[in-house]
Structure 1
Amino acid sequence: RSSVQTIVRKYKHHGTTQPSLRSGRKIVKLILKINVLQINPKTTANELVKMLVETGRKVSISTVKRVLYQHNLKGCSALKKPLLQNHHKKRL
């Protein structure tokens, strides 16, 4: 009941039920060049930060990683495989 009363009171006072602006840190909206990642999927987050600095946007690496993760671009490390030994090469 109190929730409904709050919404009705807010509508009468402000004319809308949309949430009001809040104080706090502003959300940084990044426009990453996804095409760069499609061309070279091995582009690192550090390289993207450097590219953004060149365009005049100062962004932390954690912000870039968070945005990449939101776009389903998750980082992974390549598997390490042992080198072929001479006796392996002779079998081939």
Structure 2
Amino acid sequence: MAKTRQLCRDKIVDLHKAGMGYRTIGKQLGEKATTVGAIIRKLKKFKMTVNHPRSGAPCKISPRGASMIMRKVRDQPRTTRQDLVNDLKRAGTTVSKKTISYTLRRHGLKSCSARKVPLLKPAHVQAHLKFANDHLDDPEEEWEKVMWSDETKIELFGLNSTCCVWGKKKDEYNPMNTIPTVKHGGGNIILWGSFSARGQDDSTVLMGGWMGPCIARSWPTTSFPQ
């Protein structure tokens, strides 16, 4: 039977109750007479026209097995699908990595690249929290006097390591789901920039590490209207 919208099904039922035949209803609504007939037969048999939920193939992972892998992923977000396959195999259940993915997604988890965040010591965390609390009620005019700056490191040789973790969107900055980074090391360049309420400042490139003395270079960037 062709897939039809519920609104169209309701119209078919109304026209049928009005005494119209299958062919007439089909011509009026642009549907096949066989489709109209199938919907009316379903109505007479089940007293409804919506599709019944399909059972599908039985789940290979038992509720106990699903709880086990959910607990493992919650405690160790960097667990790989192969690790979970091996855990289930030791418990007597053989599944594929694709089945693991389906089960985790059904519970609201997905695999994503771990966020890279600055490496913060406990003292840094406390200092950030104190700054936020001290300036929580500052008026907007005070923030217009502040210039914000940041930098990012780009590796020239080697790889910026990436890691996949399992988690929900709201947990992407959970310390267990992040990779701490530092702003030093060889074979890299650092891009530095700043902005304020008046607009964006020039960008600066810092080159250092094993390449020799640090070289700084700036170039104009598009600024916001003054």
Could you tell me the TM-score, scaled by structure 2's length? Answer: 0.29
Partner of 1:26: 57
Is 74-83 or 38-47 further displaced after alignment?
74-83
Amino acid at match of 2:100: V
Q: Give the paired residue count.
A: 80
The answer to whether 1:47 aligns with 2:83 is: yes
Partner of 1:67: 103
Q: In structure 2, do the counterparts of structure 1 residues 68 and 4 end up closer, same or farther at CA, with 3 Å as the change threshold?
A: same
Q: CA deviation at 1:28?
A: 1.7
The answer to whether 1:37 aligns with 2:68 is: no
Q: Give the secondary structure class of the aligned counterpart of 1:76.
A: strand
2:93 to 44, 57, 64: 57
Amino acid at match of 1:27: P
Q: Which has the larger radius of gyration?
A: 2
Distance 1:83 1:70 in 2: 41
After superposition, the CA RMSD in angstroms is 3.5
Is 31-40 or 76-85 further displaced after alignment?
76-85
Distance 2:96 2:86 in 1: 10
Partner of 1:84: 185
Q: Percent identity?
A: 24
Partner of 2:43: 7
Q: Give the secondary structure class of the aligned counterpart of 1:75.
A: strand
Structure number with the higher helix fraction is 1
Segments of structure 1 that go 5 or more residues without pairing to the other structure are 12-17
Distance 1:42 1:74 in 2: 12
Q: CA deviation at 1:42?
A: 0.7
